[in-house]
Amino acid sequence: MLSNKPVNHFSLSAYQVELLPMAQTHQDLLRNWRNQDEIRRQMLSDEPISEEQQQAWFKKTQLDPKQLHWVIKFRDQFIGATNVKSLENGNTVEQTSLLEPGLYIGERRYQGNIIAFAPTLAMYDFCFDQLGTKRFRAVVKRSNQNALSYNQKLGYAIVEDEELMVLELDVENYRQATAPIKQFLSRTRNAK
């Protein structure tokens, strides 16, 4: 159950990763990752981000109870960022039943790697189990075949098939689709 701390101050740890609340100290790293060509091209807004834009965005997110942002840590290294946003008018992340997720892995060696599923699993488990989320909705560019495949492996179904594809996920499909991935990521491994 949730403590008295606001949700945006929660760290999550599961499947070999830690999700740490996004802080001011992470902004240069996040902007550098976000501005990588291969990441930027897949974003709905694909223009490079300036330092000023990054700072304005960070300040806005810190005041917005409709979204939560984490940086992803794996084996003592930051590797990416993840977030959720409420899609229901007026509802905070804690009050909503419909969330939109976001994820990017900034460290190239983990892009397309099984470990890229770990932060999503940790965050979705938290949202479904602790926040009572009923559904996730993802919007993906049709050209982003990696993201489409990734989301379908999580159990998402396509509900709108346009240039921007809309996918939805409920807890039952999520649990069924991710059981083998969770089992694999939960195994004890030696650090390399």
Asked whether the predicted pLDDT for residue 12 surpasses 60, the reply is yes
What CATH number corresponds to the domain at position 40? 3.40.630.30
Cβ(106)–Cβ(122) under 8 Å? no
User: Structural domain of residue 55, as residue ranges?
Assistant: 7-186
pTM above 0.75, yes or no: yes
pLDDT at residue 90, rounded to an integer = 79
> To the nearest whole percent, how much of the chain has pLDDT over 90?
69
Evaluate whether residue 2 is within a structural domain. Answer: no
Q: Per residue in 81-90, pLDDT tens?
A: 999 999 988 7
Least confident interval from 30-44, 78-92, 102-116, 127-141: 30-44
Which tokens go with 11?
Answer: 């760290």
Q: How far apart are CA 20 and CA 11, in angstroms?
A: 5
Evaluate whether residue 191 is within a structural domain. Answer: no
Q: How far apart are CA 52 and CA 50, in angstroms?
A: 5
- How many domains, the chain? 1
